[in-house]
Amino acid sequence: MANVVNLRLARKRRDRADKAKAASAARAKHGTTKAGKLAQQADEARLQSIVDGAKLERDD
């Protein structure tokens, strides 16, 4: 015999999962501190300078 599914509860469960997914994305986007953002920018700048220093031809 098939299981009976309460559509109202299934819809609520789906909506909660969607909200949790959106909240997780928002935390990842907006949740970093100023110090964290500055550290990330410094790392990106350091990596870019390493890549630029390893180029065979210079853009002078």
Query: Residue 13 corresponds to which tokens in the numbers above?
Result: 């469960």
Domain boundaries, the chain: 7-53
- Per residue, what are the HEC states of 4-39? CCCHHHHHHHHHHHHHHHHHHHHHHHHCCCHHHHHH
29-59 pLDDT, tens digit each: 888 888 988 999 999 999 999 998 888 886 6
Whether the model pTM is above 0.85: no
Q: How far apart are CA 24 and CA 37, in angstroms?
A: 18
CA distances from 48 to 43, 44, 53 (A): 9, 6, 9
